[in-house]
Chain A
Amino acid sequence: MSALDVIISLQDVTKVFNNQVGQAPRTVLEQISLEVHRGETFGLLGPNGAGKTTLQKILLGLVRPTSGTAMVLGTRAGESDARARLGYLPENPYFYTHLTGREFVEFCGSLFGQGGPELRNRVDRLLARVGMTHARDLQLRKYSKGMLQRVGVAQALVNDPELVFLDEPMSGLDPVGRRELREIILELKSEGKTIFFNSHILSDVEALCERVGILSRGKLVSYGSVRDLTRQGSLEDAFVAAVQAEASA
């Protein structure tokens, strides 16, 4: 694997949040090192509060690591060059409810410097791809959670990114919605995009990812290919064993 094929690289990343005066600092991530390669789908697993979202925020530049190095697409995490080439679907879609679905995706496109009829055509194609053409002129405040998730996927793809971050993409979706989103992720895989997603739905991770990392209480307790981790049993077994081992350490 050449250095150019490493899309995400974390070296000893630690994040400590300094709480309010009188409270002890809180270590959310501790000495995390991992790599994600071009074209692979990487799943970051962990129980609630394990630090998955914080790790993704570091990669997006929303949060700075206290120590260690985070590189994304060959530049320091959070650099404008890297952000221009990635897409991001946040956990629980927080979008501008006063905009319609089409306006929102167009707004996201304009943040990449896109505009004109080309952007409008692209937005229409993306909304069709996520099955939201029928609701494109409806304000987001009237959308269900599943509809918001779909429009969130559309905005994450508006710049045709090389790397896509999905934070709990399946949460809140009904079985049909989950299947449709799985199909979209598989399509992105077949297009050669690198996908980094946080989830605690193990069946989805097992079906979609080549490699996974398991976070527990801010530590990377297991890291490797799904094939290796499931050699002794299911991914759930490997996950529970890794989390319990860390808890008892």
Chain B
Amino acid sequence: MRAVVAVAINTWREVVRDRVLLLLLVFAGVVVGSSGLMATLTFSEERKIVLDVALASMEGLGVLLALFVGGQLLVKEIDRRTLYVVLSKPVSRLSLVWGKFLGLVMVQSFLVAAMTGVLGGVMVFTGGVRFSVLGVSCMLVLQLVLLAALSVLGSAFTSPLVTSALTAILYVVGHNLETLRMLARKMVPVARLSVEALCRVLPDLSVFEVKNAWVNGVPLAVDGMVVAGGYAMAYAAMCVCLAGWLLERREW
């Protein structure tokens, strides 16, 4: 466990010192902060637009972090051969993968927390803070946890570019599984069964989608959040364990 924590902290330091996080934070601050400005350009529903733009920006930046940083984490260790140092010590390959994943989750959580802080500041000037925004942020973190796990899994067997592309595709498909199921109903039986089976395996990211309803005043359902939390943890754990298993079979 200590090794997992050590690798996670090292991953956190790596991302922070590579200035990727700083760049994203500055960008996030500008985008979320300027959502208030955008709202002044409209005639109605000023607050709704502020929240829409800010939450979409938070999600977009978090996804970018998962795609581009997550996809490189293990590949960098292999390319730079730093994993020789780690794996020559009493650290299993699975522990290394868990450490890298948790380090990325720490970075994502920090990014979302910082952006939520900026959004809270914007909300103060546009009608007051709704503290349930913290619940929306938690759901975003859960979604990013799952995407981070998918990125780490991809980076265990393919290049960063392919990993980023695959994760991006899964992000889009994962939000549209219902549409895919509807299309499947119009297909021939073999194709329908195949697509339906695929839909059961692919990550269902729609369970994390609460921001649109929340912006329109619908309260968050606690039981839905609990289910989403369990789903994200289980799916992510499965991906990370699979990545560890794949790494166990590789030689350098």
Contacts and interface: CB of A to CB of B under 8 A. Distances in A.
A83 B252 CA distance: 18
A62 B10 contact: no
Contacts of A112: 89-90
A94 B251 contact: no
A179 interface: no
A111 B3 contact: yes
B6 A107 contact: yes
Nearest to B91: A111
A61 B10 contact: no
B251 A63 contact: yes
Nearest to B18: A98
B81 A111 contact: no
A80 B7 CA distance: 17
Contacts of B251: 17, 62-64
B214 to A, nearest CB: 38
A88 interface: yes
A84 B2 CA distance: 14
Interface in B78-103: 80-82, 84-92
Category for how many chain B residues contact A: 20 to 34
Nearest to B99: A111
A177 to B, nearest CB: 20
Category for how many chain A residues contact B: 20 to 34
A155 interface: yes
A61 B241 CA distance: 20
A112 B3 CA distance: 7
A43 interface: no
A54 B2 CA distance: 29
A83 B90 contact: yes
Nearest to A152: B85
B85 A110 contact: no
Nearest to A103: B13
Contacts of A103: 13
A96 B90 contact: no
B186 interface: no
A221 to B, nearest CB: 25
Nearest to A93: B85
Nearest to B88: A88
A111 B17 CA distance: 21
Contact of A83 (B7, B10, B89): B89
A113 interface: yes
A112 B13 CA distance: 20
Contacts of B52: none
A99 interface: yes
Contacts of A155: 85
A115 B2 contact: yes
B59 interface: no
A169 interface: no
Contact of A98 (B2, B13, B88, B92): B13
Contacts of B10: 96, 99, 107
A87 to B, nearest CB: 8
Nearest to A98: B17
A112 B6 CA distance: 10
A94 B90 contact: no
B67 to A, nearest CB: 21
B14 interface: yes
The 9 closest A-B pairs by CB, nearest first: A110-B6, A94-B81, A88-B88, A98-B17, A111-B89, A84-B90, A80-B90, A83-B90, A60-B88
Interface of A: 17, 57, 60-64, 80-81, 83-84, 86, 88, 90, 94-96, 98-99, 103, 107-108, 110-113, 115, 139, 155, 159, 165
21 contacts: A57-B252, A60-B87, A61-B87, A62-B84, A63-B251, A64-B251, A83-B90, A83-B91, A88-B84, A95-B82, A98-B13, A98-B18, A103-B13, A110-B3, A111-B3, A111-B91, A112-B89, A113-B3, A113-B90, A115-B2, A155-B85
